[in-house]
Amino acid sequence: MGKVVSSGQKETLGKVLRYIRRYWGYLGASIVLAALTVAMTLYLPILIGQAVDLIIEAGRVDFAGIFVILRKMAVIILLTAAAQWIMNACNNKITYNVIRDIRAEAFEKLERLPLKYLDAHSYGEIVSRVIADVDQFADGLLMGFTQFFTGVVTIFGTLIFMLTISVRITVAVVVITPVSLFVASFIAKKTFSMFKLQSETRGEQTAFIEEMVGNQKVVQAFSHEDEALAQFDEINGRLQKCSLRAIFFSSLTNPSTRFVNSLVYAAVGIVGAFTAIAGGISVGQLSSLLSYANQYTKPFNEISGVITELQNALACAGRVLELIAEEAEEPDAEDAVTLIHAKGSVELSHVCFSYTPGQKLIEDFNLSVKPGQRVAIVGPTGCGKTTLINLLMRFYDVNSGTIAVDGIPMKRLTRKSLRDNYGMVLQETWLRSGTIRENIAMGKPDATEEEIIAAAKASHAHSFIKRLPDGYGTVIAEDGGSLSQGQKQLLCIARVMLCLPPMLILDEATSSIDTRTEIKIQNAFAKMMQGRTSFIVAHRLSTIQEADTILVMKNGSIIEQGNHEELLEKNGFYANLYNSQFAKSRE
């Protein structure tokens, strides 16, 4: 069985063993108990053989001796049952502690992974790794602990007990043993790649289901049901094929090992019968040997099953351990400065950035923002507006150049303190599962009820909140439940108005709000932006006419810069954009 684990799996197995090593006490107890269980189980056939030898013929049965042997057997059976129960408890403790540790590390790594990893992998596939793959790994690990140790000890223990009775019969058994090893090795090689493919396809299916369920309204709006069903059927068909192949080869284990079992049993029976006739062993010893033949071959059946399951477990473990091994976000520098109450000056010098190496996006970008300035960013889709926001929040690090806040390079600031000084409202709303009150107070958990209500009133969310069944105590789902998109955006605005940080980022913050409410929100924003450095991303140019500076971006570069009147006088890209939006109103 040395080739059961391929070189590609050794690294995964080594990592798994490092988790198991933390619970060496339970592991040691499990091994000792497994040895005791096997020893007592293997002692029973000897007692049975002795009892058989006491049954000489009709009328000449040693009942007294048999009763003594039966009492010994009862004690041994009770002790074996107790040892097995404690051993299984130890195995369960090891397995589920290891699973807990792996899941905890995987989730912790998710919290520290850079956004580029999450952007490059579907959420459903990541969830499949942390939930489904870990569950599959747990099943294989538990089976391994429960059956592997006892199986190996049983094989060697049985051979030792058989040698004490008959060397010739033991040799006959050992000669047939390589057949079982060949079967186990063959099945293990065939099943790993198939189980790995099955695990990957299952992750793909989970990701697709998650995407379709989360966007069912879009699917129905565009009558995409048939195409979605066809795509699901294609993935499901591939999963069916690879699962059937994996199960087919793994199901060969039982009949193959049963065939080997029958060969061993037949060999013991034939050789043992001739030996007994020749007077080499007694009839009782022959019955013991036949019992040992069953016990000897049974572990091969179990171990082959364990090995098959182990291939699936290692394939699943490899996927989740790949996630844990992913390079985490670059930690804050040891001498990183904590930014407290930023003044709000932001300086971008010769910034270059691209999501994909070789594909240029932002090249030699320069910008100087003074404290309290309102900077609007406009431009066509894909010009780099949202990318600039990602860089300002340090969701991504620049490839070259520097971004400084209050004169301090961003990489010398702690991420938490930097983001604490920003208030951000995006076009895409994000709400957590909890009450309205908890969602508003997310950035300031110690806020009083009066502060929360004042922030809700400032964002014009108070009126609709009071109409909810439990007001501020109303529980909403992660996606906002039955709240409209505009109501969800008002809650996000209230969240920022509660914290009132020194710098603001408003990325289409009023895109889902009706015109009448938008005017009120704009007035509230105007008050909130006084004295605060603000970056405003907008497609509707009517919302940014009061900005101190308007940056017109195209292909990752600033092509025009100035206030509203200056840019109109230039009669350039901004003027064309503005005129195209307001041509009808002028007519």
3 state SS of 357: coil
DSSP-assigned states of every residue in 18-86: HHHGGGHHHHHHHHHHHHHHHHHHHHHHHHHHHHHHTEEETTEE-HHHHHHHHHHHHHHHHHHHHHHHH
The pLDDT score that the predictor gives to residue 582 is 62
Cα–Cα distance for residue pair 528/506, rounded to 1 Å = 12
The pLDDT score that the predictor gives to residue 82 is 93
β-strands 533-537, 503-507: how paired?
parallel
Our CA dihedral for 211, 217, 221, 223, rounded to 10 degrees, sits at 50
Cα–Cα distance for residue pair 295/291, rounded to 1 Å = 6
Integer-rounded Cα Rg, in Å, for the chain is 36
The pLDDT score that the predictor gives to residue 3 is 45
The pLDDT score that the predictor gives to residue 1 is 40
Distance of CA 584 to the CA centre of its chain: 52
Q: Residues 331, 393: contact at Cβ < 8 Å?
A: no
Here the tokens at position 378 are: 């406009």
CA distances from 573 to 551, 553, 554, 577, 580 (A): 11, 10, 10, 6, 11
| 257 sits in which H/E element | helix 253-277
Backbone angles phi, psi at 340, to 5 degrees: -120, 125
> Tokens 């014009």, residue?
460
pLDDT in 10s for each residue of the chain, 587 residues: 444 455 556 777 788 888 888 888 888 888 888 888 888 887 887 787 778 777 766 666 777 888 888 898 899 899 989 998 998 888 888 888 888 888 888 888 888 888 878 777 777 778 888 888 888 788 777 777 777 777 777 888 888 877 877 787 778 777 776 676 676 667 666 676 777 788 788 888 888 887 887 777 777 777 788 888 888 899 888 888 888 887 787 777 667 767 777 777 777 778 778 877 877 777 777 777 777 777 776 776 666 667 767 777 877 888 888 888 888 788 888 888 888 888 888 998 988 888 877 777 888 888 888 888 888 888 877 777 888 888 888 888 888 889 999 889 988 889 888 888 888 887 777 888 888 999 899 888 888 999 999 988 888 888 888 988 888 988 887 776 778 877 888 888 888 888 888 898 888 766 666 777 777 777 777 777 888 888 888 776 766 777 888 888 887 777 888 888 888 888 888 888 778 766 544 44
Q: Residues 539, 563: contact at Cβ < 8 Å?
A: no
CA distances from 551 to 27, 370, 403, 410 (A): 64, 14, 17, 21
CA distances from 192 to 2, 9, 246, 312, 577 (A): 15, 9, 8, 6, 59
> Tokens 């971008």, residue?
348
Q: What is the amino acid identity at position 581?
A: Q
Cα–Cα distance for residue pair 372/392, rounded to 1 Å = 16
Our CA dihedral for 376, 381, 385, 390, rounded to 10 degrees, sits at 140
> Tokens 């004295």, residue?
531
Angle between helices 63-112 and 134-143 (to 10 degrees): 160
Which of the 8 DSSP states describes residue 355? S
Question: For 335, how many CA atoms within 13 A lie in the half-sphere containing its CB?
Answer: 2
Distance of CA 441 to the CA centre of its chain: 29
Here the tokens at position 415 are: 């991420």
Q: What is the amino acid identity at position 67?
A: F
Cα–Cα distance for residue pair 217/265, rounded to 1 Å = 64
**Which domains are seen in the chain, by residue range?**
94-325 (1.20.1560.10), 343-421+547-587 (3.40.50.300)
Backbone angles phi, psi at 398, to 5 degrees: -65, 150
The pLDDT score that the predictor gives to residue 8 is 53
Q: Residues 326, 117: contact at Cβ < 8 Å?
A: yes
- pTM beyond 0.85: no
The two counts, helices (H) then strands (E), for the chain are 21, 14
Q: What is the amino acid identity at position 422?
A: Y
Which of the 8 DSSP states describes residue 410? G
Distance of CA 580 to the CA centre of its chain: 48
Phi-psi category of 372—alpha, beta or left, where left has phi over 0 and alpha has psi -120 to 50? left
